[in-house]
A and B are shown apart, each in its own frame.
Chain A
């Protein structure tokens, strides 16, 4: 157990660029031997961390991984709906950056991790602090739209189809002329069906006391001065306000 933990932390350290080169090579070699470890790598989605951890050559790993992915995809080609050429696009855009592939990455990208990686949604990625440097990767099952807006995706949406990456710029350009109708990001917000989130179970717990609508203004005014950490929850509390208990005072302002 502890050995596993150690490996995991080694992996993590490696991807965060905190492991000495020599050790990286060791881990990488072990990675190429040990299917278990490989699986955990894929499972953890550490590819993202791998990309981030190479600030000097952020694009280094991506083409490799991508090549591996593409090879894998070619193998599965016939029945897979993954559009290879489309997902290829971002990678080709970044390969113009010089490749400084760290030594440890060679064995890593060489091994057949692609299959595991296919499940991992990967995005355009930039290194914090250098807005001009972007690395490319792919969202395997969704069309990757080059998104100049995106600086960094912290967490991928559960459903790639709803990825901000894909929808935000497209929606912005599509809806720009029509200001109100439909809303710009209806594509992302209008389909709660696709979100995998726990549904509230009102029976499992006592219902919260609804906040009267009149209180919303107070709560909102307070939210402006409350700690940013809890601001989201403060505001969203006002969104859950119930029907006003008394005739709505807001109407006076009409």
Chain B
């Protein structure tokens, strides 16, 4: 009998090992699929910033749609970009290196701005990593066809209501997204960008980055960057972010010139790997009337939130739900203002959730 019993035990043990093996087998491709999905997203992001292309796309958001034309060129490290509305307004957004131009034919206005790319704010896009897979469910990449192209469909669904989900139909050869969707945690599509034509080009002529309309006679508005870095926002002020929505951490910091503020204001960027949130602190003139409770705007997946918090006007912009923007804004604290003699760079805390942030990049410290 003992022999039989041993056998039974053995077989049971073997059975459970087999079950574990099955579980592992089932799990492995899942993990691999998450990696694969994130890889495709990375490739797409790379393609979007590094390739030259022209295309027309339909942008749907909040029940409205608009067709736009896009030209994108990278030449000698300088990005030129032109986005033109093909509907009604005919508005255009043009960036040539550091020069940013808004052409508003409907208002007969031309708004130009020189926006030197702060070294700390050079395109350093959200980084996808394993952390992202903890915040989002990355579905297995499926291969399908879209507008007669072989594409990979990547779906990324958030695990909590602090972020949106993404779906991208990525061209298998060029890695350009032929269609992208952003959806909320109830599955409603908030924004959709669908390319109706798209060409990868070896190069694009300069002329493509000129306004399509004759802008002579337009009211010229030039947003001058502050002449000096004389800071009204006391220099070397340190900002503390008490606690952030899960997975978000400070990824970049710098400063921006924004309308209505004489000096540049601190610009902090938080990201969870996919979504990013910009926080502007100490804005003189908030974009919409400030209230105690804070004001918010939603434009498809973009949320803008403005509030008066701890003695500062804070503007938050990002592709996140309002609750996330509000939560991040509410966590901005002016920490102990550093002594003027103190260097800008405080000891960086190990904990990503509570970064202490100098208001400006450390490099140019005025006497």
Contacts and interface: CB of A to CB of B under 8 A. Distances in A.
Nearest to A16: B150
A243 B121 CA distance: 29
Contacts of A163: 197
A225 to B, nearest CB: 5
Interface string A29-44: 0000000000000001
A214 B315 CA distance: 12
B54 A234 contact: no
Contacts of B191: 230, 233
Contact of B83 (A151, A157, A162, A232): A232
Given A179-B210, A220-B100, A229-B41, A211 B68 contact: no
Contacts of B319: 226-227, 230, 234
B258 interface: yes
A215 to B, nearest CB: 4
A252 B223 CA distance: 8
A26 interface: no
Contacts of A227: 45, 125-126, 274-276, 319
Interface in A203-235: 204-209, 211-212, 214-222, 224-235
Contacts of B202: 131, 148-151
B126 to A, nearest CB: 5
Given A154-B198, A208-B64, A230-B182, A186 B147 contact: no
A189 B121 contact: no
A232 B57 contact: yes
Chain B CB count within 10 A is highest, among A192, A195, A239, for A239
A172 B121 CA distance: 33
Given A233-B191, A243-B107, A153 B199 contact: yes
Contact of B166 (A225, A229, A253): A229
Contact of B214 (A182, A192, A222, A234): A182
Nearest to A158: B196
A238 interface: yes
A151 B176 CA distance: 14
Chain B CB count within 10 A is highest, among A128, A217, A249, for A217
A222 B318 contact: yes
Interface in B272-327: 274-276, 278, 280, 285, 287-289, 297-302, 304, 315, 317-319
Interface stretch (B28-36, B87-95, B335-343): B87-95
Contact of B197 (A157, A218, A245, A246): A157
Contact of B148 (A48, A148, A252): A48
B104 to A, nearest CB: 9
B86 A189 contact: yes
Interface in B330-359: none
Interface stretch (B1-9, B134-142, B167-175, B232-240): B167-175
Contacts of B61: 208, 233, 237
B78 interface: no
B142 to A, nearest CB: 12
A198 B149 CA distance: 21
B296 to A, nearest CB: 9
A20 interface: no
A140 interface: no
Contact of A252 (B123, B126, B256, B260): B260
Contact of A230 (B68, B83, B301): B301
Interface in B205-226: 205, 207-208, 210-216, 220-224
B180 A229 contact: yes
A49 B150 contact: yes
B197 A164 contact: yes
Interface in A167-215: 168, 171-172, 175-176, 179-186, 188-190, 192, 195-200, 202, 204-209, 211-212, 214-215
Given A212-B288, A226-B318, A12 B145 contact: yes
Given A151-B201, A154-B178, A237-B299, A197 B196 contact: yes
A46 B318 CA distance: 39
A45 B149 CA distance: 9
B86 A192 contact: yes
Contacts of B208: 168, 172, 184-185
Contact of B196 (A48, A155, A250): A155
B251 to A, nearest CB: 8
A219 B214 contact: no
Chain A CB count within 10 A is highest, among B49, B208, B298, for B208
A101 B337 CA distance: 73
Chain B CB count within 10 A is highest, among A52, A165, A184, A252, for A184
A236 interface: yes
Contact of A45 (B102, B148, B258, B275): B148
B306 to A, nearest CB: 9
Given A149-B205, A236-B83, 16 more contacts: A46-B148, A150-B201, A154-B55, A154-B199, A165-B199, A183-B211, A204-B63, A207-B64, A209-B62, A221-B115, A221-B267, A222-B278, A229-B45, A229-B166, A238-B93, A239-B93
Interface of A: 12, 16, 44-46, 48-49, 52, 128, 131, 148-158, 162-165, 168, 171-172, 175-176, 179-186, 188-190, 192, 195-200, 202, 204-209, 211-212, 214-222, 224-240, 243, 245-246, 248-254
**Shortest Cβ-Cβ A-B pairs, 5 listed:** A205-B63, A183-B212, A208-B62, A184-B207, A45-B148
23 contacts: A12-B150, A128-B200, A154-B198, A163-B197, A171-B207, A172-B205, A181-B214, A182-B212, A183-B213, A197-B65, A198-B65, A205-B64, A208-B61, A216-B102, A217-B259, A222-B318, A225-B124, A227-B275, A230-B166, A238-B93, A239-B93, A252-B260, A254-B220
